[in-house]
């Protein structure tokens, strides 16, 4: 389909197609930029990028999701400006240029297979799919972890979102059928096979947000502030990942109440990914669900990144007998929640829970089961 659409739009044939998945984080929220642990999966909804060379050294990108085309010019280092989706394209082009690679002229066609603003990381899917396509087009050896770091740098420095590295690593290196227990400091990953007895259901609240328009960066800043205060009594602390509950309580007198609550969420949330990986591996879905519920409560009460709609949708999910647990996923402030559900009851869960949420929220929602999918790849030209 994308090859045909590329031909229709640019009046030429694509030479390659790359894709990368969106992601759902099962648990470990707002821990990645604190060097902590997370437990994401790549999902079977993907962004695709088709590419072909141009002869005039210009980069022209078309987004199917926004039905927009931008001529990004010939000097990608100097051309970054507020263009929403194209900021991400320009940012990736820029980091590759600054790495010493000469970006050739090319046409890019980008699909919208991952919902935008829903908390399932459409931005990282775009960045990594684009990086995979550019590496193939420019004959750069594909290293998923190196490209994850570079695209995170692109988003931090040139788009202005102080995200951690989880989204990019997941989009680059996820594995089908598995969750990834990821150490965001070392990028060491352990793959955890998801049992077939349970399913992950994404519940889109219908409320969109952009991280630039939320307090996401403010949460990142307060975590850095807490670390700077704790270093006065524990100089070896590099990030909140290095702070245990006892140290946090000792340092409480150094912090205002808001900073303490933010840090308390991160410190306790950082233990949940490993605990949930253990529970899933043992088939203990009740404990896994309880961890999800605890995580959501902490995000709501301590980190304050949930919303009325996220709370409503999680409450509706937990009311169904086949649901083990539910929580918001992603940065928050809107977007999606997830539920861990008995696999054979997914259809009944969706049939009953979705209208219950919509009747209480007056929002159109989207519920869909996701299966763990592979990270970035080159797709067939069909």
Contacting residues for 126 by C-beta, under 8 A, at least 6 apart: 20, 47, 49, 85, 88, 89, 110, 114
- 162 touches 10 (CB < 8 A): no
- 140 touches 134 (CB < 8 A): yes
| The pLDDT of residue 342 is above 80 | yes
Return the domain boundaries, the chain.
2-193, 198-370
May I ask the CATH architecture of the domain 2-193? 2-Layer Sandwich (3.30)
The residue with greater pLDDT, 213 or 183, is 183
Looking at residue 74, its pLDDT comes to: 54
The span from the CA of 12 to the CA of 62, in Å, is: 14
| The pLDDT of residue 330 is above 90 | no
Looking at residue 77, its pLDDT comes to: 46
According to DSSP, residue 187 is labeled -
Instruction: Give the residue from 68, 70, 65, 187 showing the smallest Cα distance to 114.
Output: 65
| 62-85 burial: b if 16+ Cβ within 10 Å, else e | bbbbeeebbebeeebeebbeeeeb
Task: List the strands of the sheet with 336-342, edge to edge.
Answer: 323-328, 336-342, 198-204, 366-370
The residue with greater pLDDT, 159 or 362, is 362
| The pLDDT of residue 83 is above 70 | no
- 137 touches 15 (CB < 8 A): yes
May I ask the CATH architecture of the domain 198-370? 2-Layer Sandwich (3.30)
pLDDT digits (tens, 9 = 90+) for 223-251: 999 999 999 999 999 999 999 999 999 99
The residue with greater pLDDT, 255 or 87, is 255
pLDDT digits (tens, 9 = 90+) for 25-43: 999 999 999 999 999 999 9
- 158 touches 87 (CB < 8 A): yes
- Please state, rounded to an integer, the average pLDDT across all residues of the chain: 92
198-370: same fold as 2-193?
A: no
* Residue 44, H or E segment: strand 40-53
Catalytic residue among 167, 204, 242, 379: 167
Instruction: Give the residue from 309, 86, 303 showing the smallest Cα distance to 208.
Output: 309
Instruction: Give the residue from 242, 230, 235 showing the smallest Cα distance to 184.
Output: 242
Would you call 374 a catalytic residue per the annotation? Answer: no
Looking at residue 139, its pLDDT comes to: 93
- Place 213 in a pLDDT band, splitting at 50, 70 and 90: very low
User: Poorest-confidence range of 14-18, 113-117, 252-256, 287-291?
Assistant: 113-117
């Amino acid at each position: 389909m994308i090859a045909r659409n590329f031909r229709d739009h640019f009046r030429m044939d694509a030479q390659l197609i790359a894709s990368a998945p969106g992601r759902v984080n099962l648990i470990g929220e707002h821990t990645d930029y604190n060097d902590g642990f997370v437990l994401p999966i790549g999902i079977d909804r993907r962004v695709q990028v088709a590419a072909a060379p141009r002869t005039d050294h210009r980069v022209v990108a078309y987004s199917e999701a926004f039905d927009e085309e931008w001529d990004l010019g010939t000097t990608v280092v100097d051309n970054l400006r507020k263009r929403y989706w194209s900021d991400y394209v320009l940012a990736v082009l820029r980091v590759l240029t600054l790495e010493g690679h000469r970006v050739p002229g090319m046409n890019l066609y980008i699909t919208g297979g991952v919902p935008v603003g829903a908390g399932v990381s459409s931005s990282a899917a775009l960045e990594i799919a684009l990086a995979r396509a550019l590496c193939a087009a420019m004959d750069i050896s594909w290293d998923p972890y190196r490209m994850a770091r570079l695209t995170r740098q692109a988003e931090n420095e040139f788009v202005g979102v102080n995200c951690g590295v989880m989204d990019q690593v997941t989009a680059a290196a996820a594995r089908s059928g598995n969750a990834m227990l990821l150490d965001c400091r070392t990028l060491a990953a352990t793959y955890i096979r998801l049992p077939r007895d349970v399913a992950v259901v994404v519940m889109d609240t219908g409320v969109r947000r952009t991280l630039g328009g939320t307090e996401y960066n403010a949460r990142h800043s307060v975590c850095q502030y807490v670390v700077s205060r704790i270093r006065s009594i524990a100089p070896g602390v590099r990030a909140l990942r290095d702070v245990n509950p006892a140290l946090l309580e000792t340092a409480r007198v150094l912090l205002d109440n808001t900073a303490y609550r933010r840090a308390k969420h991160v410190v306790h949330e950082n233990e949940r990914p490993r605990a949930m990986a253990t529970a899933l591996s043992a088939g203990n879905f009740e404990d896994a669900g309880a961890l999800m519920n605890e995580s959501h409560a902490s995000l709501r009460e301590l980190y304050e990144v949930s919303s009325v709609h996220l709370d409503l949708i999680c409450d509706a999910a937990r009311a169904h007998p086949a649901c083990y647990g539910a929580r918001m996923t992603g940065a928050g402030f809107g977007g999606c929640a997830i539920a861990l559900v008995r696999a054979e009851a997914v259809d009944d869960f969706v049939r009953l829970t979705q209208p219950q949420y919509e009747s209480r929220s007056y929002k159109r929602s989207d519920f869909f089961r996701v299966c763990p999918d592979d990270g970035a790849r080159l797709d067939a030209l069909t």
